[in-house]
Amino acid sequence: MHHTIKEIIENQENFKEKISNYLLNSVKEARELLEKIESEDKYIISEKGKLKQKFKKTKHKIIIDKLFFMHSNRNEKFYAWWNEYNEEVNILKYDR
């Protein structure tokens, strides 16, 4: 389904808090899952360490904010859409 700019803005205005909370909770859950990974394999341990560093360096809130259409420095390819039926966020690509 392709959304119009008006539909995107209305959806994001109505569900801004739900969208932000959902995405921030997803990041938190991913970080917790990463912490639970246990292995004796040196490669897996090494990759886990690299991912932990990426989590530390990434500014998740800024990335999430850029998924909102009205953000001054919005993402040019993707936007966040609150799916009321599934109670989840969909990251969709703008239709050109």
Three-state SS string over the chain comes to CCCCHHHHHHHHHHHHHHHHHHHHHHHHHHHHHHHHCCCCCHHHHHHHHHHHHHHHHCCHHHHHHCCCCCCCCCCCCEEEEEECCCCEEEEEECCC
Q: Into how many domains does the chain fold?
A: 1
pLDDT in tens, 23-43: 999 999 999 999 999 999 999
Query: By residue range, what is the domain housing residue 49?
Result: 5-93
What average pLDDT is seen over the chain? Answer: 94
Residue 2 confidence class, pLDDT cut points 50, 70, 90: confident
In whole angstroms, give the CA distance from residue 75 to residue 15: 18
Mean pLDDT of 42-55: 95
- What pTM was estimated for this model as a whole? 0.87
* 79 DSSP β-pair partners: 92
Q: What is the pLDDT, as a whole number, of residue 63?
A: 95
30 CB neighbour count, 10 Å cutoff: 13
What does the pLDDT average to over 58-72?
95
One-letter amino acid for residue 84 of the chain: E
The predicted model gives 35-64 an average pLDDT of 95
